Structure 1
Amino acid sequence: MNSASWHARITCGRETGAGFLVTERHVLTCAHVVARSGTEEVSVSFARAEDALPAKVVAHGGWDGHDTAPGDVAVLELDRSVALEPAEFAAPSDAYGDPPRRLVAYGFPKRFEEGTLAEYRATADQLIDGEWVQLEAWAGHGQPLAPGFSGAAVTLADSGRVVGMVSSAARDPGIRNGRMLPAQVIARYWPRLGELIPTPGYGPADKKRLRELVLARGPEFDGRPECSPERLYSDAVGAFGPPLPAGGFGSLWNATWYLLSEVPDAEAVARFAARLADFTEDAPTRSALRAWPSRVPDDRARPPLKAPGRAAAAGTQPWSPILVEIEPSGSGDHQFLVEVSAYNGRHRRVVGSRALPADRVRGYALERIDEAYHELEPGARELIAFVLPRRWLNTDVAHWQRSADDDSPLGSFAPLVVMDLERRRSGGLQHKLLQKWLRLDGQSAARLHRIGCGSLGQDPVRLTIGLRRGADMVGFASPPRARGTRRLFQASLNAAVPVMLWPRSGCRGEHRDGVREGCAGEAFLDRLAWHLADLPPSELPFHIHELRELAYASEDPDPHWAYDLVLLWEDPRYLPDPTGYAHSPVG
């Protein structure tokens, strides 16, 4: 065995036990060894130290005094640092194997003031009551576990690395077994230990930062099931990931540490941190959680910034959308599910996903849109895309105040489009849209179909069939509010027209005696047709953004004709739809 000097002898009143140095000033032992620390002095001595050092209990696992109670862990802080190398830890799985690994404990039973060794092995890697691993003697002779071994480090015989701590021994001397608290279980009770235990994918600095973020704030639960540790874990591992452990998690840290130490998918804990961010009200902590870890490992590098399946127009960058999806949550008439994502090529990062009452939707969406910019590459060409239910497509999202500190309209800040939720969910319509864009890529100009105030009596089915064959863009003279306009609007969506434009206000399109002289809707279509002439449809978000900037900045007493212009624009190649979170956050 490695002649480690970090083994410690612990005394507290009449109780003697063992422990081990884990930092230059901290020692781990069992809570029952220092149970009388409130009234008795605690002292720690090391084999190579001349004097015993006073210590105090600075962390406790919550052990309640019963033999089988969980949390039999205590962290002692020495009154000064010691010049000894602390213990080193093995990976959690290293304690087990076939053949079994030989494990060694160094304890201080009666008549062994200098300490003695006991050799054991783990019966199996199965946790008893979610807490302990059973130990059985390596051989039928030799030193058994006994009082004085409590708190002793259990180490690998070949390397001396720690895999756990002795917590109890069989009461019957004829039964040569005992129990070990694995190191990863101890870290539930003292989170700092997690930085010392090897885990795949993340080093001590990453784990320290995550621990600080999780313990510093965490979410404001308010009893909401969607932000419980169990729900956040399920969102992180997905529908086919490891199931919840029996009994769930007692805290956010327990869920975090379980993902780090027990779940093979190293990406899961990063998804957990991002999901936790969504329920953290403190903005700096939220940003730090979402950005964790600060570096992207080589095997998880982001894909190159390009749109899948297409070349960008000459002289332009491909779009990197910020997607804002708003829909009824299904949990009440005034509850909505809002999800904000950022795209880089086919890489999608969910920035926030929350079920909210109606009066909180706008503020939440705007806040997460702003944070989504952190996910875009420096050279990315942003596009804010709102996915809305069909009946809400006329919502004035382009006019939303950009932030609490910026009164300018969101539509003046970046190119902004809307998309139809029902159409985005339809496999058939998405396929037709892809076909339309592939054809448009080879055309020099797009065909605009006008639906003016005198066109509202046409048959919707015939319009759908005709638009599938003969239109690339549709312009409406009036908003989709009146019954006739709504029917033709739906017919155009069903035709998989990639681009649709209309005014949010103005003419209602309800002329009963033909188009009137000076109809605002027809004038709108005339101006629109002139403006769109020779513009590539793929670049319309950019050109409409420029037009909105002119309209918003106009000092003319009459509103600019494009002030209320709505652009529905959808190219599925820029918006692949991988699952962001595996579960809806609706409780």
Structure 2
Amino acid sequence: MLTCAHVVARGGEEPVGVSFAHGGEQDVPARVVAHGGWDGRETDPGDLAVLELDRPVPWRPAEFAAPSDAYGDPPRRLLAYGFPKRHDEGTLAEYRATAPQLIAGEWVQLEAWAAHGQPLAPGFSGAAVTLADSGRVVGMVSAAARSPEIRNGRMLPAQVMARYWPRLGELIPTPEYDRADKERLRHLVEAAQGRGPRGHGHEGRCDTADPPGPGGGGSRAVLECGPERLYLDAVGPLGPPLPPLGFGSLWDAAWYLLSEVPDPAAVARFAVRLADFVDDMRTRAELRAWPAPARARRADPAPPAPPAVARDAVRWSPILVEIAPSGSGDGHFLVEVCAYTGRHRRVVGQRRLPVDRVRAYALERIDEAYRELEPGARELIAFVLPRRWLNADVAQWQRSADDDSPLGSFAPLVVMDLERRRSGGLQHKLRQKWRYLDERPAPRLHRIDCWAVGQDQVKLTVGLRRDADMVGFAAPPRADGVRRLFQAGLNAAVPVMVWPRTGCRGEHRCGGSADCRGSTFLDRLTEHLAGLPARELPSYVHALRETAYASEAREPHWAYDLALLWEDPESLPDPVGHLHDPVG
């Protein structure tokens, strides 16, 4: 039973007697089991009480209308059945909603349907406001005008009532999602906050109740997973703005997306974004899968694939890890992990993290991204890194807390340059280069030995743009001279670049002597990779890494520290739907 909190306020903890109109059950004992938080003043929000009867009754439960059904042009006629003085048998009042705009974020104004008839008065509080043509409930009378000359009142809309008693939301029709979907989402949101009825999701919860610390600092995770932040991520920059009073909880934001935002996919994006802040893996997986994988695909279909390019190999299904500076200069990075299935990209996680937490977070989300891949998919782990991080040992990262083997031995792994990925011109040149490579049996390898560090960077860029499909470096991009040549390869839109992460620094002119590790590396590179199709190079390099990591020789295998920059925009597109992703 639903009524206004002020109707039962004097009862305190005492049982309440409930009588039903038209005879039948009278004075059925009930107790208040939920309360909207009303404080006693007429203008206080949360004027809702939920009663539980002590026995079943034979009356049909109320049926609710969709939130928008209370309004229209012409206006919808609304009925309320109340018990004012001298109307012991009850009476009907005819009203209409003035506008869908909420007063103080809480009420809808009601105005009399006609200048005569029964006005709202004491005795109508808690009465259901129903559509005259269907009897479905759109809200509850909460107040009437004090003066009899003013024939208006206030209604607590059903969707606002559901803020205070979330289970009610399961009964209110919403686009795309049925009662079971909403019940499941409610349980998952409660689990994310550590209040859920389930046996998981309580540790490391997304606790939005903790205030920022002294000086306005506070917990970064609390700020990022607050309901307002998650709402804005879900609707995107062009979506509906925040309601004036914000949200009191994560469920408030989720329910607002379900009941007030026209885009039905927004609440699914909210669930995916919330999942990233939940420590419990099971709860995280269920939030990402909500409402269900098949339904989610229907609500957010993949954009059509472009005309296929002739190729012998099966298309890659990449797991993309993008690590970018946060821009605030405080040692934090924006880390995003997503999985591609065809041209459809699904974000698995996106967080702003200090540098010492990047590795653990990325590895955990990479493992979860595999759940998005089809069983027969060819996985490819691709790290998009700032230019100064391209020589990072990501292929050597321990795969997980329970597996000490290198990540590069688990799956094909490549790196890409963040700046180049964000350049429209270089991405266009890369597409042209791959179209050319698809028509050739093997890429042209250009060697840059360690003694060649004095080359002119601009001339090398122009030359590589014209004549090179693949560049092999004898030295890692650590010394200034090698970094300049490395940048020339990036600016030339060379699709494939290979180098040893350690060894000769390129700071001397060894002249290609027999004991030069860089020259030996390039010789072996030519021997093992020259003549192979460019699209398959991640697989061949993966096989080399497996051999190197398993080698029991006294000296390290020549490919032990091999780094591969490989970039195909067609395999890793920025889909049209990216702007609608949780972090778009």
What is the TM-score with the length of structure 2 in the denominator? Answer: 0.92
Q: In 2, distance between residues paired with 1:39 and 1:465?
A: 83
1:522-580 Cα distance to aligned partner (Å, 9 max, x none): 11111111111321000111111111111111122221111101000000111112474
Q: CA deviation at 1:285?
A: 1.3
Counterpart position of 1:421: 418
Q: Distance in 1 between matches of 2:545 and 2:270?
A: 39
Residue 452 of structure 1 contacts residue 476 of structure 1 at CA under 8 Å; is this kept in 2?
Answer: yes
Match of 1:260 in 2: 258
Structure 1 equivalent of residue 114 of structure 2? 139
Give, in whole Å, the separation in 2 of the partners of 1:575 and 1:38.
Answer: 62
Following the alignment from structure 1 to structure 2, what is the Cα–Cα distance between the partners of residues 127 and 301? 30
Q: Secondary structure at the match of 2:140?
A: strand
Q: Where do 1:86-125 residues align within 5 Å?
A: 86-125=61-100
Contact 1:234 1:583 in 2 (8 A): no
**Displacement of 1:193:** 0.7
**Residue 275 and residue 419 in structure 1: after superposition, are their counterparts in 2 closer, same or farther (change >3 A)?**
same
TM-aligned CA distance change 1:141 to 1:302, over 3 Å:
closer
State the shift of 1:37 in Å.
2.8
- Where 1:296 maps in the other structure, the secondary structure is helix
Residue 543 (structure 2) aligns with: 546
Q: Distance in 2 between matches of 1:576 and 1:151?
A: 55
Partner residue in 1 for 2:398: 401
| Shift, 1:245, TM fit | 1.3
Cα distance between partner residues in 2 of 1:39 and 1:371? 48
* Contact 2:142 2:156 survives alignment (8 Å): yes
| Structure 2 residue 245 is matched with structure 1 residue 247 | yes
For the residue of structure 2 that corresponds to 1:327, the secondary structure is strand
The aligned residue for residue 155 of structure 2 is 180
Q: Letter of the 1:199 partner, please give it.
A: T
What residue is the counterpart of 2:137 in the other structure? 162
Deviations 1:216-238 (A, max 9, x none): 22313454332221111111111
Q: Which residue of 1 aligns with 2:438?
A: 441
Tell me, in whole angstroms, the C-alpha distance in 2 between the residues paired with 1:301 and 1:266.
9
1 CA distance for matches of 2:412 and 2:24? Answer: 69
The two structures, once aligned, show a CA RMSD in angstroms of 1.9
Q: Distance in 2 between matches of 1:40 and 1:520?
A: 87
Letter matched to residue 299 of structure 2: R
| CA–CA separation in structure 1 for the residues paired with 2:480 and 2:68 | 66
2:408 is matched with which residue? 411
Alpha-carbon offset, residue 142 of structure 1? 2.1
User: How far apart, in 2, do the equivalents of 1:459 and 1:555 lie?
Assistant: 41
Pair 1:353–1:301, CA change in 2 (3 A): closer
**Structure 2 gap ranges (5+):** 194-205, 209-217
Q: Which residue, out of 470, 482, 486, partners 1:485?
A: 482
Q: Write out per-residue CA displacement over residues 180-228 of structure 1, whole angstroms, 9 at most, x where no aligned residue.
A: 0110111111111111101111111111111111122231345433222
State which drifts further: 415-424 or 373-382.
Answer: 373-382
Q: How far, CA to CA, are the matches of 1:567 and 1:247 in structure 2?
A: 51
Aligned-pair distance for 1:30? 0.3
Q: Can you list the C-alpha shifts for 1:473-508, whole angstroms capped at 9, x where unaligned?
A: 000111111221111111111110000000111222
Task: Give the equivalent residue in structure 2 for 1:220.
Answer: 207
Q: Which residue of 2 aligns with 1:20?
A: none
Q: Of the candidates 6, 10, 15, which is equivalent to residue 41 of structure 1?
A: 15
TM-aligned CA deviation for residue 515 of structure 1 = 2.6
1:553 is aligned with what amino acid?
A
Q: Distance between the aligned counterparts of 2:51 and 2:25, measured in 1?
A: 19
2:2 to 28, 31, 51: 28
Given that 1:220 and 1:281 are in contact with CA atoms closer than 8 Å, whether structure 2 keeps it comes out as no
Distance 1:38 1:537 in 2: 76
SS of the residue aligned with 1:563?
Answer: coil
Q: Which amino acid letter does the alignment assign opposite residue 300 of structure 1?
A: A
Structure 2 distance, partners of 1:354, 1:429, is 27
User: Secondary structure of 1:49's partner?
Assistant: coil
Aligned CA distance change for structure 1 residues 98 and 414 (closer, same or farther; 3 Å): same
Q: Does residue 196 in structure 1 map to residue 171 in structure 2?
A: yes
CA distance in 1 between partners of 2:451 and 2:280 (Å): 54
| Corresponding residue to 1:284 among 260, 282, 285 | 282
- Specify the SS of the correspondent of 1:141: coil
How far apart are the structure 1 equivalents of 2:441 and 2:24? 84
Distance 1:210 1:468, change over 3 A: same
Instruction: Note if contact 1:312-1:318 (Cα within 8 Å) is conserved in structure 2.
Output: no
Question: For the Cα contact (< 8 Å) 1:102–1:120, is it kept in 2?
Answer: yes
> Does the aligned pair in 2 maintain the 1:162–1:183 contact within 8 Å?
yes
Contact 1:384 1:414 in 2 (8 A): yes
Cα–Cα, structure 1 residues 153 and 402, in superposed 2: closer, same or farther, change >3 Å?
Answer: same
- C-alpha distance in 1 between matches for 2:301 and 2:79: 45
Cα contact 2:322–2:336 (8 A) shared by 1: yes
Aligned mates of 1:585, 1:344 — CA distance in 2: 18
For 2:28 and 2:582, locate their aligned partners in 1 and report how far apart those are by CA, in whole Å. 54
1:517 deviation in Å?
2.4
Offset from partner CA, 1:59-92 (integer Å, 9 cap, x none):
1111110011111011111113334321111111
In 1, Cα distance between equivalents of 2:394 and 2:510: 34
1:355–1:430: structure 2 CA closer, same or farther, 3 Å change rule?
A: same
Q: Residue in 2 aligned with 1:11?
A: none
Counterpart in the other structure of 2:372: 375
Residue ranges of structure 1 left out of the alignment (5+ in a row): 1-26
CA distance in 1, matches of 2:583, 2:262: 24
The one-letter code matched in structure 2 to 1:473 is M
CA separation of 1:83/1:581 partners in 2, compared to 1, >3 Å: closer, same or farther?
A: farther
- Return the letter of the residue paired with 2:393: D
Instruction: Confirm or deny: 8 A CA contact 2:310 2:438 kept in the other structure.
Output: no
Structure 1 residues 548-557 or 77-86, which shifts more? 77-86
- Separation in 2 of the partners of 1:513 and 1:529? 20
8 Å contact kept, 1:463–1:488? yes
**SS of the residue 1:351 aligns to:** strand
Structure-2 separation of matches of 1:513 and 1:546:
31
Identity %: 74
Residue number in structure 1 paired with 2:32: 57
1:53, distance to aligned residue in structure 2 (A): 1.7
d(CA) in 2 for partners of 1:366, 1:64? 48
Q: Which residue of 2 aligns with 1:464?
A: 461
Number of the residue aligned with 2:564: 567
Q: What is residue 48 of structure 2 aligned with on the other side?
A: 73
8 Å CA contact 1:151, 1:167 repeated in 2: yes
Residue 573 of structure 1 aligns to a residue whose secondary structure is coil
3-state SS of 1:419 partner = strand
SS at match of 1:63: coil
State the one-letter code of the partner of 1:361.
V
Q: Deviations over 1:361-406 (max 9, x none)?
A: 1000111111111222232211110000111100000010111111
Deviation at 1:274, TM superposition (A): 0.7
The number of residue pairs the alignment matches comes to 558
State the secondary structure of the residue aligned to 1:382: strand
- How far 1:161 sits from its partner (Å)? 0.3
Q: Report the Cα distance in structure 2 between the residues aligned to 1:580 and 1:280, rounded to whole angstroms.
A: 23
| CA distance in structure 1 between the aligned counterparts of 2:450 and 2:249, rounded to whole angstroms | 61
Q: Distance in 1 between matches of 2:162 and 2:302?
A: 35
**Rounded Cα–Cα distance in structure 2 between residues aligned with 1:273 and 1:241:** 17
What is the deviation of 1:38? 1.8
